Amino acid sequence: MITPNCRPLLIGSLPITNHQQAADIILRYTPEIPLWPQLPKNPREGMVRQFLTGFPGLIDSNKGFWIDTEAEDFAVSMTAFYEEYMAVEANHDLLKDSRFRLAADSASGFSVLLDTLHLRKHDSYTVKGQVTGPITTGIGAKTGQGESIFYDDNLRDMLVKHLTMKGCWQTRQIQQRAKIKTPIIFIDEPAMVSFGSSAFVGITRELVTESMTEIISGIRATGALVGVHICANGDWAPVLQSKADIISFDAYSYFENLLLFKEELTSFLQRGGILAWGIVPTGDPEIISKETVTSLLDKFKTQLNQLTALGFVKESLLQRVFITPSCGTGSLPLNTALDVLEMNSTLSYEIQKKFMTP
């Protein structure tokens, strides 16, 4: 079992285009728990497109991407998808060369990181992977008629299974190539707390819960710890009541909102849930520039006291906390992104020294 002990952890994206440079940066700031870099400045590495490679009917052009459900062979493609899905679900050894692998055209950061770990004989505590969640992907990916695929029952079912196996593929590769028994796989899904808003009309709590439950359970079955990363605010009950092992949240902006769900949060922590505490801001460069390790340490202390007031022992709670930025840094200027990573790493060290050293 993984014990976080306030180790630093990152969310994924960086504002550069070179994967080796990104891997070097990640190993500099989070050597114990590196993750593979997502570089949205590269074509096909955007949050929605990145994990669609291998999905039936996917069309890429200089005008964008979409799912061509009206192609003559689409029904045949769907049948082939389900046949392959059932085969790899029954035998995870078949995942390696399946359609569910992370391809070089959209996620070469994965292989770059694992190759780097191997070449340098780098000893990691664990390794983190990630996949965009089904609601965010399903709303953003559209058919040729401009309709979000999440609203179509058949397309949504395929998408959920597709993303599940993208996570399972990562788990197996990390286990085999990096010799990590228990990888961490995050599902990046800000929409999980946003259903019911105008942007997600028609998406019910039941649809959200059903989709996320299938993905979380599927990835956990391969031996990974599964986290859900949410950098938004809304109804936290579904994610806290889910089977997720880790909840990654924007503590800088929304900590008090999370505390409103006292009963669900208490139950999550009592069952051994882990918090990825997003205390370092990433949204606004001006706000980032005003913060220091000292100011963030004070903020963390205040929040920790609020949480322990619910009845948790501080020492045991800290053992189940990762220190993270509130979100990825892919949209920031590079210097600002590096400032975030530096603050996150140093803050983690200071928290361990101040609160966990006997």
Q: What parts of the chain have a pLDDT lower than 70?
A: 194-200, 357-358
Say which residues have a Cβ less than 8 Å from residue 53's Cβ, sequence separation at least 6: 44, 102, 103, 105, 106, 107
> Can you give the pLDDT at residue 194?
65
Please check whether residue 36 is in contact with residue 112, taking contact to mean a CB–CB distance below 8 angstroms: yes
Task: Tell me the two tokens of residue 41.
Answer: 């400045």
Q: Which helix (H) or strand (E) holds 45?
A: none
Run of H or E including 58: strand 58-61
The set of residues, in sequence order, having a beta carbon less than 8 Å from that of 47 and lying 6+ positions away, is 40, 132, 136, 137, 140, 188
264/269 Cα distance (integer angstroms) = 9
Residue 235: its pLDDT value, please? 83
Quick: pLDDT tens for 312-343. 889 999 999 999 999 999 999 999 999 999 99
Q: Within a 10 A sphere around the Cβ of 263, how many other Cβ atoms? A: 11
Return d(Cα 316, Cα 9) in angstroms, integer: 19
Contacts for 216-221 with beta carbons within 8 Å, 24 or more apart? 216/187, 216/242, 216/243, 216/244, 217/243, 218/89, 218/164, 218/165, 218/167, 218/168, 219/164, 219/167, 219/168, 219/171, 219/185, 219/187, 220/245, 221/168
**DSSP-based three-state secondary structure for 299:** helix
Collapse the DSSP code of 277 into the 3-class scheme (helix H, G, I; strand E, B; otherwise coil) and give the result: strand
Please answer whether residues 48 and 189 qualify as being in contact, where contact means their C-beta atoms are separated by less than 8 angstroms. Answer: no
pLDDT of residue 357: 67
